[in-house]
Amino acid sequence: MKGPVLALVAAGPLSRSFITRLAVLPERLGPVLAPSYRLASRLVNSLGAGYAVRHYRQLSKAQLVLIAVPEALLEDTLDRLAGAELNWQGKIAVLCDDRLDCAALDSLSRKGAARASLSTIPGLAGQFLIEGERAAVREVKRLLARAAERIYELPCGNKALFLAGLTFAGSLSLPAADAAAKCLRLCGLPASAARVICGDILEKARRAYLHAGRKAFSGALAEGDASQVARELAALEQLDPSLAGAYRSLACLALERFQKNLHPLKGPFLTPGETAPR
């Protein structure tokens, strides 16, 4: 068996988990533990590797323990691992979870284990994120040999910030895209045409940002063209005040992030009925 012995603590099916794609499993996976021996045996059969065990103490020969359980079962699982007759000194605990970071493994860290979290990056096939202590991260990278096209490493505690970045780039960009498409529909374009135009503009903006970063910020806002901004806001206020509110919020965020001066645009950004400060 090449490399440290692996153990797997899991619950539920792993058919969609990246664990099934780890090429090192057949030669390195040892004990497999689940809430029931029957489930552990099923996991062994589905993975084609390892052997089922009944007790936590039977993980003692493993140097690296993969933990892949639903969040609802995680606290109990970790309590059992920490309370088992196991010497965690020199062992590595790896939490296989898309959202939680290695801080969830504090109880095992206090027992002497090095810790890391491992996950795929949503929507990016073959790309993995490892977050944790350096020694643990180094060993987890070896696990991913032949399974990963690209690996990103983060120090302990930075996973939530990474995921926040993905949220900005992904789901939080959709409301702006949807608002853009609605504007085009309100002005008379068919929905299909609105989607095509928005898609083209978004792709152009994406390419420009990848090429030039913040310098790609352009248009009436970037130029401080108060007259044009006022016309756009007036049109939005007339047809859909909620879109006007979204425009103001997103525009203020853009001007702040790209360090543009809001002063020339102060008038257009006043909400209806508000007066300019003297």
DSSP 46-74: HHT-SEE-SSGGGGTT-SEEEEE--HHHH
Percent of the chain with pLDDT over 70: 94
Look at residue 2 and tell me whether its pLDDT is greater than 90: no
> How confident is the model over 38-47, as pLDDT tens digits?
999 999 999 9
> How confident is the model over 97-156, as pLDDT tens digits?
999 999 999 999 999 999 999 999 988 989 999 999 999 999 999 999 888 889 999 999
Tell me what pLDDT residue 270 has: 56
Tell me what pLDDT residue 146 has: 80
Tell me what pLDDT residue 275 has: 46
CA distance 5 to 171: 39
Strand, coil or helix: 118 = strand
Q: Which residues are registered as beta bridge partners of 32?
A: 8, 52
Residue 220 φ/ψ, nearest 5 degrees: -60, -40
Tell me what pLDDT residue 274 has: 54
Which pTM was predicted?
0.87
Tell me what pLDDT residue 277 has: 42
Q: How many helices (H) and strands (E) does the chain have?
A: 11, 8
Mean pLDDT computed over every residue of the chain: 92
Strand, coil or helix: 10 = strand
DSSP 206-245: HHHHHHHGGGG--SHHHHT-HHHHHHHHHHHHHH-HHHHH
Tell me what pLDDT residue 271 has: 57
C-beta neighbour count of 183 within 10 angstroms: 19
For the record, the structure tokens of 63 come out as 């140097």
Burial of 79 (0-12, 13-18, 19+ CB in 10 A): exposed
Tell me what pLDDT residue 186 has: 94
Look at residue 180 and tell me whether its pLDDT is greater than 80: yes
> How confident is the model over 52-111, as pLDDT tens digits?
999 999 999 999 999 999 999 999 999 999 999 999 999 999 999 999 999 999 999 999
Angle at 144 between CA 142 and CA 146, to 5 degrees: 105
Look at residue 229 and tell me whether its pLDDT is greater than 50: yes
DSSP 108-164: HHTTT-EEEEEEEETTEEEEEEEEE-HHHHHHHHHHTTTT-SEEEEE-TT-HHHHHH
- pLDDT band at residue 185, thresholds of 50, 70 and 90? very high
Tell me what pLDDT residue 272 has: 55
Look at residue 251 and tell me whether its pLDDT is greater than 80: yes
